[in-house]
Amino acid sequence: MRKVPSSPWFVLLAFVMLCSVILSACSGNSNAPANNEAGKDANGDKNAAATQEPAPNEELNEVTLKIMLLGDKPKDADLVYDELSKLAKRDINAKVEVENLAWGEWTQKYPLLFSSGEDFDLVYVADWTGYQGYAGKNAFLELTDDLLSKHAPITWEKTPKDAWEQAKVGGKVYAVPQSVQENASQAFLIRGDLREKYNVPPVKDMAGFEAYLMAVAKNEKGIIPFAYQLQTEAFIMKFFDDPQAYSNGSVPSNSALNWNYWSKEAMKAQDGFATPGYKNFSATMYKWQKAGIISKNALTQKERSSQLFDAGKSATSAWSLDQLSNQAVNVTKAHPEWKPEVFIPQIAIVPSKFTQNGVAVNANSKNPERALMLLDLLKWNLEYTDLTWYGIKGKHWEPAGDDRFKSLPDAVNYPPSSNDPWGWRGPNERWSVDQPDEIVAQLKGYRMETHEYPYGMNFIYSDAKVKNENAAIQNLAQQYMNPASVGLVDYETAYGKFQAAAKKAGLDKVLKDLQEQIDTYKASHP
């Protein structure tokens, strides 16, 4: 198959001081429309569906809908969602409540949402939050043709066929995915002033990035060169692997399991901790830990590097390219003397899956039909999208044409896309006026085209036969390999202990089970 092209973003470093983007960090239906027009609507300009008037609500009893979102709560979030409640009261006779799971604790609290029977209606889901695993455990309501067509008709009609297919678990749909593809590039934001201060050349590759970190570690006191947080920034591991064929298939329930999805031949079950890419990564982390580049508190650190960068406590931020572009503009306004710069490692870029962001209905929701009505509005009604993505018009932002916006002073209390609206990502996004027209054209163009996925991108793993083994191995990975992933223990010591214990816990069994599933996938995907 055709190789996915390398990222073109490295040529844009000169523009980063201006860059800003409000882009971020799946329900399957065999009868969903598959025609090209549906996909074109989902990825194209705003259309009639985006502003379609909701049905009158006179016959609806008033209900309260609770949404669970990820990330730290912005200061003005309550003000914004009070306004959302007014809209929802008007249109579907519903009050909206939101609860945030902070970045420093979401991995602990997210599983409890489903094991404790907590009362809520909608929840952010994604591949990286373990959507497939939770769906397989009946945490979410199955979204049938009937439910979607009756209560989320625009979503049901205009979500691309590939998105529905990617959202299927066991042939059934349990979440509504985003309706556009997005560039899945990830990158680093650094302090240009510190780079210049210590005569480090502009960063163009990982060696140059390390030279910058070493210079900061050697000369700057009171700042962490890279406040790396393993929970949310483990994606940097791929920057230490083969840039054209890194192993990217992974399992949330067992971080030891891994496969390369670039081609049919390369797609094999493997112990990810034994790969050359991971060995290189952990060896580098060990070196960086010794040099004082990453924190000795990396395993317990609650803040993301991006948060500590904004606070002046980290000289590096790691995030998606979209979010870093947004952060660079905000930092330039708050601290122009920092001269923020973006470094984008050159690796083969894969368009994000449609299940990169999504929203599911709690299996125990008391009002699933109304929850779907709200989601339809959030995704396709411009008034709802603008409010939840950018805040209150005239307070946090103001429109600048059909698809641009200008941040106002209060945007610091509700930054664009800051309160996890990614689950209802659709065609109504706006771009900051601070962003050059040529960059906006590229970002919009990416969403309006269909991008090819690698061979094994749509493979979905099930741990139905090895749940206990996976749980045991995951505990061992956290005990032995997490310290190696932040450089607190050398690779050979950590992996020797892990492998011996994991073998006893069933590592060979789960690898065999994974390979059997891969073989089944290959048989149906020649």
**Predicted confidence (pLDDT) per residue in 437-466, tens digit:** 766 776 677 777 778 889 998 888 989 899
CA 141, 147, 151, 154 torsion: positive or negative?
positive
- Tokens 């709690």 locate to 362
Beta-sheet strands, E only, within 114-230? 122-125, 168-169, 172-173, 176-177, 186-191
**Distance, CA of 134 to CA of 119 (rounded, Å):** 16
Structure tokens at 306: 């991006």
Confidence of residue 491 (pLDDT cuts 50, 70, 90): very high
- In this prediction, residue 52 carries a pLDDT of 47
Distance between CA atoms of 139 and 115, rounded to whole angstroms?
A: 9
Confidence band, pLDDT 50/70/90 cuts, at residue 33: very low
Query: Is it the case that residue 41 has pLDDT exceeding 50?
Result: no
**Range 466-489 average pLDDT:** 97
Residue 449 has a pLDDT of 76
The mean per-residue pLDDT over the stretch 409-420 comes to: 93
Res 1: pLDDT: 37
State residue 277's pLDDT score: 95
Tokens of 226: 């890279």
Q: What is the mean pLDDT of residues 17-27?
A: 36
Residues near 437 by beta carbon (within 8 Å), at least 6 away in sequence: none
CA distance 144 to 30: 10
In what helix (H) or strand (E) does residue 333 lie, and over which residues does it extend?
helix 321-334
What's the whole-number mean pLDDT along residues 321-348? Answer: 88
Amino acid at the residue 42: A
pLDDT above 70 (res 130): yes
pLDDT for 445: 73
By the 10 Å C-beta count (0-12 exposed, 13-18 middle, 19+ buried), 496 is classed as exposed
| Over residues 87-105, mean pLDDT | 96
In this predicted structure, the answer to whether residue 471 has a pLDDT above a threshold of 80 is yes
pLDDT score of 237? 95
Strands 176-177, 431-432: pairing is unpaired
48-73: burial string, b at 16+ Cβ within 10 Å, e else? ebbeeebeebeebeebebbbbbbbbb
C-alpha 162/C-alpha 451 separation (Å) is 11
Residue 13 — very low, low, confident or very high, per pLDDT cuts 50/70/90?
Answer: very low
pLDDT value of residue 439: 62
Output the average pLDDT for the chain.
Answer: 87
Q: What is the DSSP annotation of 71-92?
A: SPPPTTHHHHHHHHHHHHHHHH
Q: What is the pTM of this model?
A: 0.69
Query: What 8-state DSSP symbol labels residue 224?
Result: B
The phi and psi torsions of 76 (rounded to 5 degrees) equal: -100, 15
Residue 232 has pLDDT above 80, yes or no: yes
Which candidate, 161, 257, 177, 135, places its Cα nearest to that of 517?
A: 257
Confidence tier at 8 by pLDDT (50, 70, 90): very low
Mean pLDDT of 308-328: 90
Average pLDDT over residues 42-56: 43
**pLDDT above 60 for 290:** yes
Rounded distance between C-alpha atoms, residue 376 and residue 458, angstroms:
25
pLDDT of residue 19: 37
Which DSSP letter does residue 450 get?
-
Please give the pLDDT value at position 29: 36
Which residues are CB-neighbours of 156 under 8 A, at least 6 positions away? Answer: 29, 32, 145, 148, 149
126 φ, ψ (degrees, to nearest 5): -165, 165
| Cα–Cα dist 224/295, whole Å | 7
Q: Tell me the CA end-to-end span of the chain in Å, nearest whole number.
A: 11
The rounded distance, in Å, linking the Cα atoms of 447 and 181 is: 6
Q: Can you list the alpha helix ranges (DSSP code H) found in 74-205?
A: 77-92, 106-115, 131-136, 145-151, 153-158, 161-167, 192-197
Residue pair 159/166 in contact by the 8 Å Cβ criterion: no
Contact 416, 389 (CB under 8 A): yes
User: d(Cα 390, Cα 22) in Å, to the nearest integer?
Assistant: 8
| Residue 24: predicted pLDDT | 38
pLDDT at position 16 over 80: no
Please give the average per-residue pLDDT across 401-415, as a whole number: 92
The two tokens of residue 479 are 């005990």
pLDDT value of position 215: 98
